[in-house]
Amino acid sequence: PGSKAEGESRWNQQGSREKRTEGKDRAEGHPGSKAEGTLREIGSGGGAMAFPLSVDDFKKFVLLNINNRLGHDVRAKVLPVLEGYGSYEGLCEKLKTNIHSGINPDEVAQRQEHYGRNYIEQKPLTPFWKFCWDALQDPTLIFLSCASVVSIIIGTVFEPIECLGWLDGLAIMVAVIVVVLVGAIQESSKEKQFRALTDKASDDLVNVIRAGTQKQVSNRDVVVGDVLVLSTGDIITADGLVFERNTLKIFEGALTGESHAISKGPFEFKEKGHFEVPPDIDLQQMNVLPEGTPEERRAYYEPTPDKTPLVFKGTEVQDGEGKMLVIAVGNNTYEQILLGDKEDDEDDEGSGRSILQVKLDSMTMLITKVGAFFGIGIVIILFIRFGILFANTECCKEEWNNAVHNSQWIGFIITGITIFVVAVPEGLPLAVTIALAFSVRKMMTDQNMVKTSSACETMGSATTICSDKTGTLTTSMMTVMQSWVAGSKCEPKDVAGKYSDEVKSSISHAMTINTSEKTDIVAKTNKKIVDGKEVEEPVNDPNTGKYMIAYSGNATECAMIKFVNQLNGFDGNPGDASMPYKKIRNNFPESAEGRAAITFSSKRKRMSTLVPWTAGGFRLFTKGASEMVMSLCTTYLDSDGSTKPLDDATRKSLEDDVINEFASQGLRTISVAYRQFEASPAAEDGSLPEATETELVLACIVGIEDPLRPEVPDSVQTCRNAGIVVRMVTGDNLATAKAISRKAGILDPAKEASGDELAMTGEQFRTRVLSDQNSETPERCIIQSEMDAIWPKLRVLARSTPTDKLVLVTGIQKSRLVVDGYTRQVVAVTGDGTNDAPALKQADVGFAMYINGTQVAQQAADIVILDDNFQSIVAAVKWGRCVYDNICKFLQFQLTVNITACTIAVVGAAVLTESPLKVIQLLWVNLIMDSFASLALATDDPNRVPGLKEQLLNRKPYPRTQALLSKIMVRNMFAHALYQLLVLFILIFCIGDVCEAGATINECGGVPYWRAPIDVGIRSGRPADYDLINLPADVKCIDAYKQDDPSTYWYVRDMPLDASGDTFEGAIPIRQRTYCEEQHGCGERSIHMTIVFNSFVLMQIFNEINTRKLHGEMNQFAGALYNDWFIRVMVGTLASQVVLVQVPGINTAFGCSGLDWAQWLVCVAIGASELLVHYLCALLPYEWIPLGSWAGSMDDATLDETAEEIRAEMAAKEKGAGNTPGDVEMSGVPQQVRN
């Protein structure tokens, strides 16, 4: 087929061939015969059917069509394959079917077995225990669980019950359970939420021809070889071919990005001389005969054919009727292939865990190792000291006493475990979980439905967004953007108030009458299940409160009738019967007597309709390509409703100032004209001669396009300010793509002229960056050097295929080119169509649209944009950076606590022989309070805190290799920790007199043996073993009983034993049996150590305010009152601290003694001093601080290795999730096909 005429000739030949074939079928019993008995015989009587063509063959044929859409490529690459199959008739023979009679119903089961079913089972919801088990796989939680069990066993078996040693392990176990449950509930909730969002699968009835009879069957029962009967409004349920005469126009925007309907049928090419050839520079960009001359390229080039035979599942019949031969169903349709997962995980970038989480795991393990080192070291030191004391026969070490010394050496081990447990940031997993859960919930209010939690913070590092055009940057609805009416240009919104009713009436009738009644503006609806039945309800526009508009029928004609509504000031709901164009249609129905038409054709580029006119006579309305219609006009409509001559000067002005100007803006120009007749010019047979399309009155010229969403330019500029490059990838032609990208601010004309920014076609892109364009996995054939030469400048990729988008994303991800200081790019991809699925899955973060998005795209994405608003992408960036900052705030807080607590524990064990803070106190600080802090610090909301949104979006993305701890954070951590240690060491060693106990354990019973440098009138709470060094020699220790040393006993005579008169004579040891037990028991509840503990906690509480600032800000209170959780946690933590210090029973468990108001005042003042330290810290230099892997940084090699490990882990999970493998892997389409 080389032209329309050639196509018609082929149709005639095909018709005769079909008749001959049908006769042959009747004779030989092949499918196609209308004798149902014969069909049954072949279909079921002879066993399994043998089909020459496999699923692989059809997949390859579909992809060949997808990847070669221009006319010259179709001739060179597609037609030879089609002819090799024996053309369309040969395909029917190989599928044992016939376009007229279809298949035998008895063959359905065998065809389902060979080619698959047209139904995709959904995976069952993941059981809750599975989420809990997955959460427990976190290395930190595994370690904490083991530490908890060991601590509980030691505390229960080896320690006295009154010491409550088991409480520490129980507290850790509770923390682990909380983290697991919070994570599991969050994941389970997300899965149910997304299932409710996407569970739209319905069991609709479709029309098929089987055994020569048209019948309705479930779409799930459609099989390969079936013949579907299609009509306007049908959603196509399988892939197929259309090669019968038909009037079908299919809207494939969700699949190919095209914004207009595609006519279907055998390839029908545009005739030479009837299409515009692009400039040679564009032809070179399209890779048209790259080695040829400009003349050869112009002669060789052919645009996309007027008709193509391939029809895809998920697309919609916008107009017309026809029959389709099914060639793929279910998992083997192009829609589902695009969803597939790669079997080889080595190149699969998809990941459920992010690099940030891996960094946190690495930092946790490093801190754990350091804690283990110090814990083991302290245990060794304590045992060595223990041995030395026995060797020197020090007090209570003269001989081994099980009652005393067993608990002591067990205490050494517990001290080591305590240091170890304190070092581990066990609050960190909960903080990350809370930060992600909070952001996921809040992002719903920002219209982001998050499927993969890690995608939240990954967006904080995004450096580039590869965006689809149709439906993402644009509205996916053709609209009149510019107009020329009655002699002057006018914005469409101003036409209603600018011109007379007569002018508006003339234009309204011309546009409405000359459109198909199948073209309609309706309310957009969503399907819902109500009382077990599927119903459709209108979708409200959140901005206007009215129903959202949807188009039904031809998109260009919908734009025209929408303009009619606008012209007449209509402001009601779409679909309302009062819409102006509906009133006109009611007055001029298609069935009216005397109505005639000349249909549109690509050669004529116009259409006309003749109707009886209400004022008498007949009126002809014509619309079409501006230059064609204007050449038929002799006058134009003036503003007062009269007509004026259309002279040469006016024509020249219209061409230069209107048509060319509109075209330069990327608009498709259409002229609307009319002519009045006294009598009908129609022929007797009702046909309308083309000669009537002369001496027309030009009513208006309109410029139509799929317009940008209004928020897109500002959103793109925000992305630029945030250091994010937006790239547009579209199936539109290069000129249209450039025009849209310039309006959006994606392509800067000045930078394009200087070569700093680039727009190119998919064909040129593939030629340059792929070593093998015909590879089944082209993303593995990327020439990285060529890719690196293109992608930094690339802003627009036009005429692209889904494979191009996948190759672009993969190439950018693999690049190690330094661009704007980044050695590794984090790529986000937005899209709404089925064609976006592979790139959505490959990207670091994939965004799919909900309202205008396909279910395929939503399943492939990490985040679903609920309002289809590009501004929501910016909201995701904002939340991603906020999540990252929130986690870093908590990290700064927790590590400050850990540095202080570990140092206190280590120094206390080494110097005091035991930690000045009891294990349960350390657990309160390190676990319970940290968990509260994670709520306070991980829940800052950028939508509430003034200035936070702007601060987040006016800085560059975090590089993936960057350390988690910044130099400012390290400075703050160590400065605050050093200050806290100084204060605590003063409290421990410089207060507390050494004396005998008085009326209470906290008062001196006489003159102190040693008076502390800071006299506060309380008795020392330090361990007795340490305070012995300050005691007089005669009171340091009561010596153990020795028979030859009279100073160690009293000798008594005649001491009465009881009332019987019996007496005792002998030695009574001065040291009682319980003396050493009292010296080394569970410890007393001293005010001294309570003040130390209370001051420590209060310093952490006040430092929590400081740690809200990461970037050296002086005002630490800014925004604090806008975080309700922060206020609750601050108040709750203070209240809890008062309770566990003051309330009897509770303070016993925590080893505390109640404080008076003066002591509380001192503790609060010490804690509040942290606020002043913040200002001093801000003055300290930090540039000199070296950062390494200990701070959470990664070099590129480590990052690559880590990414590979993550991909392998996720690939294994995907395989374990029950994904069904496909049969082949080709043209970048993944081999794994998700159920």
> Closest by alpha carbon to 848, among 862, 839, 838?
862
Active-site positions read 468
What type of residue is 481? M
**CA 335 from chain center: how many Å?**
20
Give the CB-side neighbour count of residue 115, counting CA atoms within 13 A. Answer: 31
Kindly provide the b/e burial profile for residues 545-559, where b requires at least 16 CB atoms within 10 angstroms of the residue's own CB: eebbbbbbbbbbbbb
- 215 is written with which tokens? 């019948």
β-strand partners of 1171: none
The owner of tokens 């160590």 is 974
Give the separation between CA 532 and CA 923, rounded to whole angstroms: 53
Give the separation between CA 919 and CA 942, rounded to whole angstroms: 38
Contact present, 872 and 446 (Cβ < 8 Å): yes
- 571 is written with which tokens? 């402001």
β-strand partners of 794: 758
The owner of tokens 């459109």 is 515
- 1185 is written with which tokens? 């601080």
> Closest by alpha carbon to 979, among 1182, 1108, 1112, 1172?
1172
Give the separation between CA 716 and CA 974, rounded to whole angstroms: 40
Give the separation between CA 946 and CA 312, rounded to whole angstroms: 49
Q: What angle do CA 406, 412, 417 make, to 5 degrees?
A: 125
Residues 6+ positions from 1175 with CB-CB distance below 8 Å: 1114
Give the separation between CA 237 and CA 217, rounded to whole angstroms: 12
What type of residue is 410? I
Contact present, 778 and 300 (Cβ < 8 Å): no
- 568 is written with which tokens? 């007449």
> Closest by alpha carbon to 757, among 772, 744, 773?
744
Q: Using the 8-state DSSP alphabet, how is residue 540 labeled?
A: B
Helices and strands of the chain, counted as H and E runs = 45, 35
| DSSP codes joined into one string, 22-77 | HHHHHHHT-BTBS-HHHHHIIIIITSS---SS-HHHHHHHHHHHHH--SHHHIIII
Q: What angle do CA 421, 424, 429 make, to 5 degrees?
A: 120
- 10 is written with which tokens? 């082929």
User: How many angstroms separate the first and last alpha carbons of the chain?
Assistant: 39
What type of residue is 983? V
Contact present, 908 and 915 (Cβ < 8 Å): yes
In the three-class reduction of DSSP (H, G, I as helix; E, B as strand; rest coil), residue 554 is classed as coil
Nearest-Å Rg of the Cα atoms of the chain is 41
Give the separation between CA 630 and CA 617, rounded to whole angstroms: 24
Kindly provide the b/e burial profile for residues 117-126, where b requires at least 16 CB atoms within 10 angstroms of the residue's own CB: bbbbeeeeee
Give the separation between CA 875 and CA 853, rounded to whole angstroms: 19
Q: What is the 3-state secondary structure (H, E, C) of 419-457?
A: HHHHHCCCHHHHHHHHHHHHHHHHHHHCCEEECCCHHHH
Contact present, 913 and 434 (Cβ < 8 Å): no
- 1232 is written with which tokens? 């794994």
